[in-house]
Amino acid sequence: MKLSIVTTMYCSAPYLNEFYERICATAEKITSEYEIIFVNDGSPDDSLDIAVALYEKDPRVRVIDFSRNFGHHKAMMTGLMHAKGELVFLIDCDLEEEPEFLEKFYAEHRKNDDVDVVYGVQKARKGGFVEKISGNIFYWAFNLFSSYPVPPNIVTARLMSKRYVDSLVKHKDREVFMAGLWAITGFKQVSLMVTKINKGNSSYDLKRKISILLNSITSFSNKPLLFIFYLGSMILFISSMAALYLVIRKVFFGVLLAGWPSLMVSIWLLGGLTIFCVGVIGIYLSRVFMETKERPYTIIRQIYERVKTDI
Taking the C-alpha atoms of residue 122 and residue 1, their distance in angstroms, rounded to an integer, is 30
pLDDT score for 87:
94
267: left (phi over 0), alpha (psi -120 to 50) or beta: alpha
pLDDT score for 309:
45
pLDDT score for 48:
94
Domain boundaries, the chain: 3-217+295-304, 223-293
| Collapsed DSSP state (helix, strand, coil) of residue 22 | helix
The CA-based angle 259-264-270, given to 5 degrees, is 125
E strand intervals along 162-288: 189-194
Superfamily of domain 3-217+295-304, CATH level 4: Spore Coat Polysaccharide Biosynthesis Protein SpsA; Chain A (3.90.550.10)
Which pLDDT tens digits describe the chain residue by residue (311 residues)?
Answer: 899 999 999 999 999 999 999 999 999 999 999 999 999 998 999 999 999 999 999 999 999 999 998 888 889 999 999 999 999 999 999 888 899 999 999 998 888 878 899 999 887 666 565 666 766 676 667 667 666 777 778 888 999 999 999 999 888 777 777 777 888 888 888 888 888 876 655 555 556 666 666 666 666 666 676 677 777 777 767 766 776 776 777 677 666 656 655 565 567 667 767 777 777 777 777 667 666 666 777 889 999 987 664 44
Spatial CB neighbours of 67, under 8 Å, sequence gap ≥ 6: 42, 299, 300, 301
